[in-house]
Amino acid sequence: MFYLKYRPQTLDEIDNSNVRETITKLLSSKQSLPHAFLFVGQKGTGKTSVARIVAKSLNKTTDETFSSDIVEMDAASNRGIEEVKNIIKEASYLPMTSSYRIFIIDEAHMITTEAYNALLKTLEEPPSTAIFILATTNIEKVPKTIISRCSIVNFGRAKQLDIITMLERIAKHEKMTVDKELFTLLAQYADFSFRDAAKILEDLSIQKKLTVQEAKEFLGLFGTKNLVEVLNTSQLPQALAWIQRFSSEGGSIKNLVEASLKDLHSLLLSKHGIKPENEPLKLDFSVAQITKLIKLLSEAHRTIAYSPIESLPLEIAVADYFGSNNQ
């Protein structure tokens, strides 16, 4: 898999530029080195990869198999008091071959309250040779007492340029000839997730579909940039006919709605003087119309998976939008 094959191995290779800068600053201050980190971000943003890089950097090792002084635990399946007590016991031991014993706990929000209470005392008075790296997609479920003992690194959404740089690196190693416009498309489609963008590029490579048009067809993105324009310039019959044509040509309604919501989000931000990440379409929508469409399309997106006719929730949303405009 491309994402695993080309995951970053050193601090300089971390794709997320904001995270790279934050981690570099934290590690450069040896006198105030945190003994607990909390990595926060959605799936596919590189939390586990960066945790391993931090571990290797602190212990000055490049061994891909890791030393016995680096322990990983997935809290999704090891969330109880006994598992955490084992970690606490391990933390009390001196490193065998390295400077630190480092404990990487993924899906940290899954740890039970009882287990967190046991871990808290160790985080309050950590052994000088122990470092904890907790990673979570849901910081709201991590106790405030734990958060206050950690240095937080917010992974956030990856920047489009950072994802494009990663995709260019992969394409170069794989000797692909790819238009840069394709990388931009994949970064947007993957919702700015490094993992998802790399996976899509791999799928396209396997299918030998590396032009922008081929990629759009493969992903079901026929004309996704046009739906919001259709709603802005047409009436209900024309809009419904456009959706039917889109669906009959093999387009994915789910992807269409997602892309349209992103367009509307950019429009909403620009209406309030905020520069969006993507250039907004130049359309004559009022803020009220944009807000109405976002609500209707969000509801359509939620119900598509349960509809016997994939396009039906979107068609209902469009009918409601035009109906409210005519009232």
Q: Which residue, among 51, 41, 46, 37, has the nearest Cα to 16 in the 3D structure?
A: 46
Pair of tokens at residue 37: 């980190």
pLDDT on residue 278: 67
Fold of 162-219: Helicase, Ruva Protein; domain 3 (1.10.8)
Per residue in 44-80, pLDDT tens? 888 999 999 999 888 887 654 457 788 899 888 877 7
Q: What is the pTM of this model?
A: 0.71
pLDDT on residue 106: 92
Whether the Cβ atoms of residue 105 and residue 135 lie closer than 8 Å to each other: yes
What is the C-alpha separation between 160 and 166, in angstroms, rounded? 10
Residue with tokens 């238009």: 179
pLDDT on residue 65: 47
List the chain residues with pLDDT less than 50.
Answer: 64-65, 224-225
CATH code: domain 224-325 is: 1.20.272.10
Residue with tokens 């794989």: 174
Q: Residue 223's Cα: distance from chain center in Å?
A: 25
Question: CB neighbours (10 Å) of residue 26?
Answer: 15
For the chain, domain boundaries: 2-154, 162-219, 224-325
Fold of 2-154: Rossmann fold (3.40.50)
Per residue in 192-236, pLDDT tens? 788 888 988 998 888 888 888 888 777 766 554 478 888 888 889
CA dist list (Å): 190 to 19, 215, 264? 19, 13, 17
